[in-house]
């Protein structure tokens, strides 16, 4: 009841801007704790706060993909729940930070593509992808400029736990990248630079990653709400056979317990978005220097990756423009406002010159007008130059990644190696490119790729029962297909040997149906 009172106070402040007096709030809380408990049989008990440890986390994802018989209304619903479980566990975020909060039900604000930054960087075993997640919807600090940023990395031991793999699947299904094919991801390289950013289209930045199912399809704009996430988490726990209720908040508690005592108090507070009263907060970076993903999975922190990304040198581009090009500078000189100021200065200057030609001393007012005209023209040029240079330089850093990606793709297309990429692509090292390319494949296929390796507990997942069981066509269809239509299924299977939908095929799986694409 005190939680509901707190929500009521927050709602009143949000709608009217009026804060409930602290004394009145304390008086009502005292009434709840004493009078209601003593005279109205209200139980004063604490709700059990259950945790989801790394073993529970793995079993949830494995069950969801490999053994769950529940038929979601759309194939995208399953990977969305899996991705949200990963984000909640690895970042320790509150549920209202990643989906539409119940307190802001009309906002339709959740994690959007603009909150993710995908980078290709040098790793110990070659190039690796990292995913930076900006948690801008923190409680009490929504859309603040200094939002917490958590860095996640690939999990090459088990793709079913890998947030990078899941994000790539959604991004390719939504066609969020500019001219990048799933198969090309694995062949891109950071090159001589420290990293290679993979840019999201500007038109996709405001699109929620996890969206609602509505009227037979996934909504293109409506974000998933907390109520939907809560209900699906509860039902998943029930189907798995958990005695306790599985709540989205359980993942946050688990992350807090996993990192407790393993990081400093400042980092702990920063990751969990708690309010601090120390001066350290004013100097701390908004990027959390904690490998929360490894800590949650009971593994040692891999801090080398985070250390590389700390300094400004990581984002350096040695060929970045140091000045505005002549063509851009000429645009300022041809600007109508600059021409007008230049004309005024020229007119006053002519008056001064005429006065001197007549051997007359220019009046102080005339000289003051000339100085003012010169100052206005110079100030306008300086401001225009600074703004144009900042914009030009900003656009350079935004486009340097896409330009380098396209350069490498063109190089692939002109090489013999690219022929093999197009004709006989293989899923070497179980890389993200292979799983992302599989958004046309069946659920059994995705489950096999996700969990083909032994789990962290030492047990090898078995899929015999699922392989032999006939699953309905809705589940067998493309797990990430954006244009899914349940009834457009062919009765017979016919594909050319080089068809890209067979890239990830396995011996035991003989497809019986395929969606019209």
Confidence at 296, pLDDT banded by 50, 70, 90 = confident
Per-residue model confidence as pLDDT tens digits over 218-227: 899 999 999 9
- What pLDDT is recorded for position 431? 36
Confidence at 516, pLDDT banded by 50, 70, 90 = very low
pLDDT at 159 over 80: yes
User: How far apart are alpha carbons 107 and 497 in whole angstroms?
Assistant: 48
pLDDT at 193 over 80: no
- What pLDDT is recorded for position 80? 94
pLDDT at 494 over 80: no
Confidence at 167, pLDDT banded by 50, 70, 90 = very high
User: How far apart are alpha carbons 23 and 28 in whole angstroms?
Assistant: 9
Give the highest mean pLDDT range of 9-13, 205-209, 287-291, 446-450: 205-209
Domain spans of the chain? 2-39, 54-311, 326-413
Segment among 102-111, 118-127, 250-259, 458-467 with least mean pLDDT: 458-467
Confidence at 50, pLDDT banded by 50, 70, 90 = confident
The whole-number average pLDDT for the span 192-216 is 88
Confidence at 435, pLDDT banded by 50, 70, 90 = very low
- What pLDDT is recorded for position 146? 77
91 against 27, higher pLDDT: 91
What are the angstrom distances between the C-alpha of 200 and each of 205, 207, 224, 434? Answer: 7, 11, 21, 20
- The helices-and-strands tally (H runs, E runs) of the chain is 22, 8
Q: Is 54-311 in CATH node 3.30.2450? A: no
Helices (H), 414-484: 416-423, 432-437, 443-450, 464-468, 473-476
- What pLDDT is recorded for position 316? 67
pTM metric for this prediction: 0.68
Q: Which helix (H) or strand (E) holds 128?
A: strand 126-135
pLDDT above 70 as % of the chain: 74
User: How far apart are alpha carbons 480 and 80 in whole angstroms?
Assistant: 9
Please list, in sequence order, all residues whose beta carbon lies within 8 angstroms of the beta carbon of residue 255, skipping any fewer than 6 positions away: 88, 89, 90, 91, 92, 271, 272, 292, 296
- What pLDDT is recorded for position 286? 63
Segment among 5-9, 190-194, 258-262, 446-450 with least mean pLDDT: 190-194
The whole-number average pLDDT for the span 473-497 is 34
Confidence at 424, pLDDT banded by 50, 70, 90 = very low
Distance of CA 24 to the CA centre of its chain: 41
Per-residue model confidence as pLDDT tens digits over 52-103: 888 889 989 999 998 888 888 888 999 999 999 999 999 988 899 999 998 8
Confidence at 338, pLDDT banded by 50, 70, 90 = very high
User: How far apart are alpha carbons 517 and 496 in whole angstroms?
Assistant: 15
Q: What is the 3-state secondary structure (H, E, C) of 163-209?
A: HHHHHHHHHHHCCCECCCCHHHHCCCCCCCCCEEEECECHHHCCCEC
User: How far apart are alpha carbons 79 and 169 in whole angstroms?
Assistant: 9
Q: Are 150 and 288 in contact (CB under 8 A)?
A: yes
Confidence at 470, pLDDT banded by 50, 70, 90 = very low
Confidence at 312, pLDDT banded by 50, 70, 90 = low
The whole-number average pLDDT for the span 345-361 is 81
- What pLDDT is recorded for position 336? 92
Q: Which helix (H) or strand (E) holds 101?
A: none
pLDDT at 404 over 50: yes
- What pLDDT is recorded for position 437? 34
pLDDT at 111 over 50: yes
Tokens 């802001």 map to which residue?
104
Confidence at 205, pLDDT banded by 50, 70, 90 = very high
- What pLDDT is recorded for position 209? 94
pLDDT at 468 over 50: no
Written as six digits, the tokens of 318 are: 């040695």
Residue 472, classed as helix, strand or coil, is: coil
User: How far apart are alpha carbons 390 and 324 in whole angstroms?
Assistant: 9
Confidence at 511, pLDDT banded by 50, 70, 90 = very low
Give the highest mean pLDDT range of 30-34, 111-115, 491-495: 111-115
The whole-number average pLDDT for the span 351-363 is 75
Q: Are 65 and 82 in contact (CB under 8 A)?
A: yes
- What pLDDT is recorded for position 104? 87
């Amino acid at each position: 009841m005190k939680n509901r009172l707190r929500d009521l106070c927050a709602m009143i402040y949000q709608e009217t801007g009026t804060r409930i007096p602290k004394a009145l709030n304390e008086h009502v809380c005292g009434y709840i704790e004493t009078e209601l408990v003593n005279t109205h049989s209200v139980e004063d008990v604490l709700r059990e706060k259950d945790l989801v440890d790394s073993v529970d986390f793995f079993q949830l994802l494995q069950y969801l993909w490999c053994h769950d018989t529940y038929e979601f209304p759309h194939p995208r619903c399953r990977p969305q729940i899996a991705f949200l479980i990963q984000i909640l566990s690895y970042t320790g975020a509150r549920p209202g930070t990643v989906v539409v909060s119940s307190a802001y039900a009309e906002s339709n604000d959740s994690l959007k593509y603009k909150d993710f930054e995908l980078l290709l960087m040098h790793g110990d075993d070659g190039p690796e992808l990292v995913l930076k997640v900006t948690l801008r919807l923190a409680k009490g600090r929504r859309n603040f400029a200094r939002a917490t940023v958590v860095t996640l990395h690939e999990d090459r031991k088990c793709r079913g736990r890998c947030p990078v793999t899941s994000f790539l699947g959604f991004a390719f299904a939504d066609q969020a990248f500019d001219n990048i094919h799933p198969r090309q991801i694995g062949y891109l390289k950071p090159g001589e630079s420290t990293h290679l950013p993979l840019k999201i289209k500007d038109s996709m930045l405001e699109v929620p990653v996890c969206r609602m199912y509505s009227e037979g399809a996934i909504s293109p704009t409506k974000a998933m709400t907390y109520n939907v996430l809560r209900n699906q988490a509860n039902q998943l726990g029930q189907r798995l056979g958990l005695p306790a209720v599985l709540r989205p908040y359980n993942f946050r508690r688990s992350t807090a317990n996993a990192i407790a005592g393993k990081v400093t108090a400042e980092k702990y507070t920063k990751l969990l978005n708690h309010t601090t009263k120390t001066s350290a907060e004013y100097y701390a970076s908004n990027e959390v220097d904690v490998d929360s993903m490894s800590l949650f999975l009971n593994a040692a922190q891999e801090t080398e990756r985070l250390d590389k990304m700390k300094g400004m040198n990581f984002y350096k581009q040695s060929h970045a423009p140091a000045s505005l090009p002549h063509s851009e500078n000429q645009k300022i000189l041809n600007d109508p406002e600059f021409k007008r100021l230049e004309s005024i200065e020229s007119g006053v200057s002519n008056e001064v010159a005429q006065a001197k030609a007549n051997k007359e001393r220019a009046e102080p007012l005339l000289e003051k007008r000339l100085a003012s005209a010169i100052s206005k023209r110079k100030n306008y040029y300086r401001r225009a130059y600074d703004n144009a240079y900042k914009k030009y330089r900003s656009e350079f850093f935004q486009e340097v990644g896409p330009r380098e990606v396209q350069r490498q793709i063109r190089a692939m297309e002109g090489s013999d190696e690219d022929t093999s990429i197009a004709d006989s692509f293989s899923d070497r090292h179980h890389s993200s490119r292979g799983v992302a390319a599989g958004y046309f494949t069946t659920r059994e296929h995705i489950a096999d790729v996700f969990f083909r390796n032994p789990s962290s507990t030492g047990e090898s997942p078995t899929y015999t029962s699922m392989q032999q069981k006939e699953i309905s066509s809705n589940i067998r269809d493309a797990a990430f297909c954006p244009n899914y239509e349940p009834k457009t299924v062919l009765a017979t299977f016919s594909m050319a040997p080089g068809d890209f939908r067979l890239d990830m095929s396995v011996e035991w799986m003989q497809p019986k149906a395929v969606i019209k694409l």
